[in-house]
Amino acid sequence: MNQLKTAKPFLQEGKVMDEKQYNVLVLCTGNSARSILGEVLFNHLGKGKFKAYSAGSHPAGKVNPGALEWLQRQGYDTRGLRSKSWDEFAAPGAPEFDFIFTVCDKAAGEACPLWPGKPATAHWGIPDPAHIEGDEARRAAFNKAAEQLARRIQLFLCLPIDKMDKLILKEKLAEIGRLQD
């Protein structure tokens, strides 16, 4: 029994305790659609290795109904999702981020708060599905935005981030953001 204990990492609530959990912040101006999708997809695809949050520089105050509809159609739990200001994550006691991704061009051009811990950052611009006219066209735009985010997140998750030099990691993150999906 003692040999088994030393041969396997200790488990706590289904997680291997010696694995680092990375904190991710997905930013967009309104934090109502793309960044919300990014938060949910990162948390799902990251399988506990990543804890994602989302925020906006000028939060809309509510999650876009199209984003909620897409997430619910895919079977994701939408309880607790809300539009948040990035100020919430710059305050004392907020999580320290390892990675920050902007998903809209406007947020990428804004002056961001100084984040503790010097997280790796990248711009992963995704066209805004929220302003598309017509129900079918809007659903298609949300599908495309979610597919683009999921593809980029999956590529990111394949990187050996714990073994990469910071400069190489930053370039890889930028490459993922430049993908033409």
Span between the terminal Cα atoms of the chain, in Å? 51
Residues 156/101, Cβ–Cβ less than 8 Å: no
Which domains are present in the chain?
A: 19-175 (3.40.50.2300)
What pLDDT does 178 receive?
93
- Give the chain's residues under pLDDT 70: 1-18, 106-114, 181
* Unique residue bearing structure tokens 């079918």: 136
What pLDDT does 9 receive?
40
* Unique residue bearing structure tokens 């714990």: 162
Residues 107/56, Cβ–Cβ less than 8 Å: yes
What pLDDT does 18 receive?
53
Enter the pTM of the model.
0.85
What pLDDT does 112 receive?
63
Residues 77/61, Cβ–Cβ less than 8 Å: no
- What does the DSSP 8-state code read for residue 167? H
> In sequence order, what E strands does 44-127 have?
50-56, 99-102, 120-123
What pLDDT does 4 receive?
37
